[in-house]
Structure 1
Amino acid sequence: MAGWNAGVGAVVAPSARRGGALRLVASADVDSLDPARTYYVWSWLLQRAMHRTLTAFESSPTGTRTVPDLAEGPAEVSADGLTWTYRIRRGARFENGREIRAADVAHGIERVFARDALPGGPTYLLDVLDHGGYRGPYGGEPCRAIGRPDDHTLVFRLARPFADFDYLMAQPNTAPVPPESDSREDYWRHPVCSGPYRIAHYEPGGSLELVRNPAWRAETDPVRPALVDRMSVTFGVEVDEMDARLLAGEFHLDVEGRGIQHAARDAILADPGLRARCDNPATGFLQYVTVQTRVPPFDDLHARRAVFYAADKAALLEARGGVGVGGELATGLFPPHLPAHSAFDRYPSGPDLTGDLDAARAELAAAGLPGGFATAIATQPGKFELVARTLARSLGRVGIEAEVRVLDTASYYRTGLGHPGTVREEGLGLGVTDWGADYPTEYGFLAPLVDGRQIKPEGGNFNFAELDDPRVRELIDSARRTTDPEHRKALWRGVERTVMDRAVILPMAHDRTLHYRHPDLTNVYVHPAFGLYDVQAMGVAR
């Protein structure tokens, strides 16, 4: 038995044994199996088993750096930082046996620009590449920012220097897509896999089964050990039932990584045997409440600030899972592992953290709403719902009546809270959510939440507040240009203070999650770049 937190920073039960089946479970479906359209972190970890990318995070419990994957080595970067050239590894193949060419990687990346047809997924490349208004490959023209001089070379032309470009090349939307197999909006039904596993069966909302890709060769893949013969994921299991079935041994792991719920938490922590099968990592996620500026009365700054002061952070932390196991109080935005993290607290909640109700009432009066107002809180089932109901009670103390609306988990960010049209039409003034960095830098963490250029009106939006502030954009651009670490840290802290002054992100906790691992699992570790178990690296002992 490995022990408490043994999978954080180390590997539990190292083994090279091949074979067997990994049984996974989740409360909801993946957001998409199309690598261009997925944004859930646990979906990315499944994508990591199915698809190769130019670079990838190494398979390691300390692996926060990227290494070459489909690329045969590091990029060649021009002196001005505007041209990045990758050489494609020879011998890597799709599941149909065809060799992967530079044009396939280019086509996969070009699909990111087809926002009308393929909403969802990260959109950094729209801002980073010098593409001249390109709108995707379906008009017949290649993207001018992506050169492919031969079958094994890709040349990217950037609009401005961007030192984090290797991190972008590790995201699922850089996976190769054979143009002849691209069914556009329907590609999610059967994406052509390039990793060690391919899709044998997918029933949306029901289950996913991955089996070995017969065309994959270990000698061409420096990242993935591919130990198990198959992985199965059962979707749609209610969270408390899921915990019970995990503890009964029916499943090896909760792949979704939401963590053990309150009902099972206390029983696990009281049992030394069960506790020894758990990890409680700091995930790098921020648990927070978003306040939407396009939903009245939150178009008024004082109405937004009233929410910040009225929030009972002590109760919200307990609803999330309690101090320690559930996380640590967050008063600012950046998680502790990033250099710009600080103890900044723009909206103190009093010595007992239950809120400053006098300050909240003063803000309501300044907004012309001394008696309060009505709004709605968007949330998902499980801990998110507990947080939403706790928030509603704390806001009710100052006359803010908040109706809790529980939305579907699988579509929460695609067509629910993440769709500006839905937010406005349904009057979702508040939303309970969380966020972890797309990659471990300040830009990768905060820009998608606050940069107005990353608002996605078609869905899959994470700038929920639709904050488009010139000062924020100016500071972000300055931080991207500077090479001095201390100056960059100061600029990002300036972004944080500006955003907090605008009162659009109410931080609750720097997240810790209680994960349970089956004793038959081998090669188990929490990947520090994702904050979840690296399922593609796992094996089973029997």
Structure 2
Amino acid sequence: MTASILRLYGPGPLDQLDPVCCPRFPIDRVVRLFARQLFTYRTHGDLRNWQSVAPTPDLATAIPSIYNAGMGASYTSYVVHLRPGVYWDSDPVRPVTTHDVVRGIKRMGNPLRRSALLPYFTDTIRGMARFCDDYAAAFAGVVPTGPELAEYQNSHDIPGLLVLDDHTIVFEIRRPAFDFIDILALPGASPAPIEYDEFVPGSLELCRNIRSNGPYRPVDFTPGRTLRLTRNRLWHQETDPVRRQHVDAVEVVSEPVAADAVAHRIRRDRADLAWGVRIADPATPVDHDLGFALDPYLVFNTRSFNAAGALRKVQVRQAIAHAIDKTALAAELAPLDGETITRVAGSIVPPNNDGHQDLDPYSTPDQRGDPVTCAAMLAAAGHPDGLTITAIHPATARARLVAHRCAADLTEAGIAVQQVEFAESEYLDLLADPARAESGEWDIALASWSPAWAHDNGRVFLQPLLHSGSPANLGHYRNPEVDALIDRALAAAEDRQAADAAWRKAERVALADAPLVPLLFQVPTARELCGRRVRAAAVLPAHGLAVDLATVRLDPPSTD
């Protein structure tokens, strides 16, 4: 019998399999196949139904609540019971235990490769922020090995993680957080087997020694090029309420190709789904109320001393915010973005996300940009002859188009732009390194941010993008008032009106500082294009309408 192989092809990055280090897109599509979490999301037929974006039990037996004795009356204690019969594909075979859950969460605090999503955990789980701070201090100025990191993790506890036995764990959180279950559904919260203690998080050695508790397991990985997963014989359907194991293997091929080349390959039946680029199928529109993404935006390196420290000045950043022709940008992206709703962005929190405001403090007539005003503001800020900046972007067709459009607008305002593009993995490494920001390797960068969950999500944009110390705060913006407002909003979770007021004020104060320039809001309006062999391509609303690879069936090969 011919093996059924699901084929993904496209320009997306393929250099990381460690759930702690993975960005959400596109690698989260395959991480879902081998790394399970306590809670996850399922496909749903009615995308307007609230349950389509609500978390569901995965490794856990139930969602903790006051009705099943899983949540304390103060809403700060969660008791989670693990589902029996779930095993690692290890030698010898071992069950997944609560000790693996703790190991997985501790690994997120490692000082070498921290997830952009870490603030959701450090601000919520009792004692985790202190654990992460002490972890970083313990290895300041040195490059630890995997066993050295593991020794620290194994000898230091996070007070809010209480293991009662191999199948029961209690999470204690700092204050009520009605999005806590969604936080535990993020890939970074995946349990980790003891084998990972031998490796540095995110290292090639770890990626080539991934252990699986899902329906598939990685068996062949060439960073930047190919990945192959095959069936995990130790996975059993009765222990997994969400995933399936219909195909024999999943293969991913990453190449620097344009979106139209990917679409052509899918239509010619040489690939089944796109990798790293969303190709919409206009024949399959969807009706939903999902939140928009902030995609793209410009972020300023507020620590750069280039151009006499120009970008450290609020007035310079405000001037640049006036320069971009967002209307032209939206028009130029339209052919690439296909079936999406695109809106010019003026605020940080997009529509259909909690706390969205109709703000645009740097609006220009018809959103066409105003280079004259920009140049005048630069002169007033002490730069009458303009300035020279380094703008970086990933080496994708879409990012290249946005970068060139923005550079043209800035040039018209008297700003000389030195454009530098990087392979996506190199780009992410550069932005993640504070020392390289301090040294002035870049001044403006191109980025995007999608909501990590779709309900009760007031924090999903402002906390990671604006709070000082957040790995996703790429420009290292710091304003104590914004930090305090974010902390106030998080502390007021039980008082929705007070929390909402604090979130809204935090956004207004931050926008006045212009640490970033919102460019466009986007949300898909159609399913992604699938090859002719694909059947049962159910979508995950909580993952931006991506096809759930764990549900795909393939037609048998033709006998013609």
TM range (shorter): 0.7 to 0.9
SS for the counterpart of 2:469 is: helix
Q: How far, CA to CA, are the matches of 1:346 and 1:533 in structure 2?
A: 37
Letter in 1 for 2:383: L
Instruction: Select 1:188's aligned residue among 174, 192, 207.
Output: 207
User: Offset of 1:217 from its aligned partner?
Assistant: 0.7
- Percent identity reads 26
Q: How far, CA to CA, are the matches of 2:326 and 2:275 in structure 1?
A: 29
Q: 1:99 aligns to what?
A: 95
Report the more deviating stretch, 375-384 or 315-324.
315-324
Alignment map for 1:28-177 (pairs within 5 Å): 28-60=12-44, 62=47, 63-75=52-64, 76-96=70-90, 97-116=93-112, 118-120=113-115, 122-123=117-118, 124-131=120-127, 133-134=130-131, 135=135, 137-139=150-152, 140-143=154-157, 144-177=159-192
Residues 363 and 325 of structure 1: CA distance in aligned 2, closer, same or farther (over 3 Å) = farther
User: Offset of 1:345 from its aligned partner?
Assistant: 1.2
Q: 2:474 aligns to what?
A: 464
Q: 1:508 aligns to what?
A: 519
Q: 1:297 aligns to what?
A: 310
Q: How far, CA to CA, are the matches of 1:416 and 1:489 in structure 2?
A: 34
Q: 1:539 aligns to what?
A: 553
Residues 2-38 of structure 1, C-alpha deviations (whole Å, 9 max, x = no match): xxxxxxxxxxxxxxxx982210013143352111111
Q: 2:283 aligns to what?
A: 276
Q: How far, CA to CA, are the matches of 2:437 and 2:85 in structure 1?
A: 47
Q: How far, CA to CA, are the matches of 2:374 and 2:265 in structure 1?
A: 44
Q: 1:517 aligns to what?
A: 530
Residues 258 and 427 of structure 1: CA distance in aligned 2, closer, same or farther (over 3 Å) = farther
| Cα pair 1:197 1:211 within 8 Å, conserved | yes
Q: How far, CA to CA, are the matches of 2:196 and 2:369 in structure 1?
A: 55
TM-score, structure 2 normalization: 0.84
| Cα pair 2:11 2:277 within 8 Å, conserved | no
| Cα pair 2:488 2:502 within 8 Å, conserved | yes
Q: How far, CA to CA, are the matches of 2:323 and 2:333 in structure 1?
A: 18
| Cα pair 1:304 1:503 within 8 Å, conserved | yes
Q: How far, CA to CA, are the matches of 2:451 and 2:151 in structure 1?
A: 31
Q: How far, CA to CA, are the matches of 1:374 and 1:36 in structure 2?
A: 37
Instruction: Select 2:488's aligned residue among 468, 471, 478.
Output: 478
| Cα pair 2:117 2:472 within 8 Å, conserved | no
| Cα pair 1:319 1:383 within 8 Å, conserved | no
| Cα pair 2:536 2:551 within 8 Å, conserved | yes
Q: Does structure 1 residue 251 correspond to structure 2 residue 258?
A: no
TM-score, structure 1 normalization: 0.87
Instruction: Select 1:367's aligned residue among 346, 371, 381.
Output: 381
User: Offset of 1:403 from its aligned partner?
Assistant: 1.5
Q: 1:14 aligns to what?
A: none
Report the more deviating stretch, 314-323 or 200-209.
314-323
Residues 62-91 of structure 1, C-alpha deviations (whole Å, 9 max, x = no match): 321111111111222222233221111111
Q: How far, CA to CA, are the matches of 2:433 and 2:522 in structure 1?
A: 25
Residues 264-309 of structure 1, C-alpha deviations (whole Å, 9 max, x = no match): xxxxxxxxxx742687997732121112211231001111011111
Residues 374-410 of structure 1, C-alpha deviations (whole Å, 9 max, x = no match): 1011111211111101101011111011111111112
Letter in 1 for 2:406: L
Q: How far, CA to CA, are the matches of 2:378 and 2:529 in structure 1?
A: 44
Q: How far, CA to CA, are the matches of 1:286 and 1:78 in structure 2?
A: 36
Q: 1:270 aligns to what?
A: none
| Cα pair 2:62 2:80 within 8 Å, conserved | yes
Q: 1:376 aligns to what?
A: 390
| Cα pair 2:534 2:553 within 8 Å, conserved | yes
Q: 2:236 aligns to what?
A: 217
Q: How far, CA to CA, are the matches of 1:259 and 1:464 in structure 2?
A: 28
SS for the counterpart of 2:95 is: coil
SS for the counterpart of 1:85 is: strand
Q: Does structure 1 residue 235 correspond to structure 2 residue 254?
A: yes
Q: Which runs of 5+ in 2 are unaligned?
A: 65-69, 136-148
Q: CA RMSD in A?
A: 2.4
Q: How far, CA to CA, are the matches of 1:343 and 1:31 in structure 2?
A: 38
User: Offset of 1:490 from its aligned partner?
Assistant: 2.7
Letter in 1 for 2:283: A
Aligned length: 503
Q: How far, CA to CA, are the matches of 2:530 and 2:504 in structure 1?
A: 37
| Cα pair 1:407 1:416 within 8 Å, conserved | no
Q: Which runs of 5+ in 1 are unaligned?
A: 1-17, 261-273, 455-460
SS for the counterpart of 1:524 is: coil
